[in-house]
């Protein structure tokens, strides 16, 4: 299975995977280990994670996910990181047509896509910014426009798409309710997790301003309704939920 992680520049695609590799309560990345991922995606001069600047070959990840079906199950995932500049900057696509074609071909074959969106400015911030840097701030109208453009791109270019997950990443930068959400929606493989209730809560609480855009998307072919999440590397219980969600399908269909 290939999981494509897409999103604009600096949204946190690489840091999400590196944080996941360090382990959460219900997910363990068996191979490669966190240290090798950090080394691979770090700036050798600063030691900090570096951005993705070109289309990379797929990386095989071995995940062990605790599911309600019993003991942890292992899955092989082909993770493809993508450079945000190609999505957010048309000039970058025009200057590198071969890379852009390679990227669109990869995405067109995917059955599983995780779209990471930046936070938007309509809630107050409550924690310090990651690495002390200001994020690229988006007002709500610009955020809505970008979401609409993403959904249109996916409908046009992803004919094999079966599962679309949309997460507002770096959610610690704009929400004061993450502690409550993490407590209320912590995944426990020994208890029934109501994905539909979680999706309804996230959609109404964090995606309410995009209701018309989402409704319009759901009414058009190929009729793939997204599943919504909020994620941050600072809340492992929230960070793991998109992957546990995918794992629940992997358990039933290894060709997913």
H/E/C letters for each residue in the chain? Answer: CEEEEECCCCCCHHHHHHHHHCCCCCEEEEECCHHHHHHHCECCCCCCECCCCCCCCCEEEEEEECCCCCCCEEEEEEEEECCHHHHHCHHHHHHCHHHHHHHHHHHHCCCEEEEEECCCCCCCCCCCCHHHCCCCCCCHHHHHHHHHHHHHHHHHHCCCCCEEEEEECCHHHCCCCHHHHHHHCCCCCCCCCCHHHHHHHHHHHHCHHHHHHHHHHHCCCCCCCCEEEECCCCCHHHHCHHHHHHHHHHCCCCCC
Q: Which residue has the higher pLDDT, 208 or 126?
A: 208
Lowest mean per-residue pLDDT among 37-51, 83-97, 159-173, 231-245:
37-51
pTM of the model as a whole: 0.85
237 pLDDT exceeds 90? yes
What residue spans define the domains of the chain?
2-250
Residue 128 — very low, low, confident or very high, per pLDDT cuts 50/70/90? very low
* Cα distance between the two ends of the chain: 6
pLDDT, mean of residues 109-138: 65
Residue 132 — very low, low, confident or very high, per pLDDT cuts 50/70/90? very low
9 pLDDT exceeds 90? no
- Tens of pLDDT along 41-90? 766 555 555 555 555 566 778 888 898 766 678 887 777 766 666 676 77
106 pLDDT exceeds 90? no
Q: Which residue has the higher pLDDT, 78 or 195?
A: 195
123 pLDDT exceeds 50? no
2-250: CATH homologous superfamily? P-loop containing nucleotide triphosphate hydrolases (3.40.50.300)
């Amino acid at each position: 299975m290939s999981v494509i992680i897409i999103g604009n520049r600096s949204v946190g695609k690489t840091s999400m995977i590196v944080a996941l590799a360090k382990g959460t309560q219900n997910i363990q990345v068996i191979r490669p280990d966190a240290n090798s991922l950090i080394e691979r995606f770090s700036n050798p001069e600063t030691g900090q994670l570096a951005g993705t600047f070109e289309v990379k070959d797929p990386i095989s990840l071995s995940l062990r996910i605790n599911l309600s079906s019993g003991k942890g199950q292992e899955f092989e995932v082909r993770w493809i990181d993508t450079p945000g500049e190609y999505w957010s900057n048309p000039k970058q696509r025009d200057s590198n047509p071969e890379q852009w074609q390679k990227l669109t071909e990869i995405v067109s074959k995917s059955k599983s896509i995780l779209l990471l969106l930046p936070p938007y400015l309509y809630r107050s911030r409550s924690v310090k910014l990651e690495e002390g840097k200001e994020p690229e701030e988006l007002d709500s109208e610009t955020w809505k426009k970008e979401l609409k453009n993403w959904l249109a791109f996916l409908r046009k270019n992803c004919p094999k798409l079966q599962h679309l997950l949309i997460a507002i990443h770096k959610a610690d930068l704009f929400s004061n309710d993450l502690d409550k959400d993490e407590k209320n929606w912590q995944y426990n493989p020994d208890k029934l997790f109501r994905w539909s209730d979680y999706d309804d809560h996230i959609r109404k609480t964090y995606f309410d301003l995009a209701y018309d855009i989402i409704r319009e998307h759901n009414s058009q072919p190929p009729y793939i309704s997204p599943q919504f999440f909020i994620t941050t590397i600072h809340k492992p219980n929230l960070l793991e939920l998109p992957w546990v969600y995918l794992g629940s399908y992997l358990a039933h269909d290894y060709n997913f």
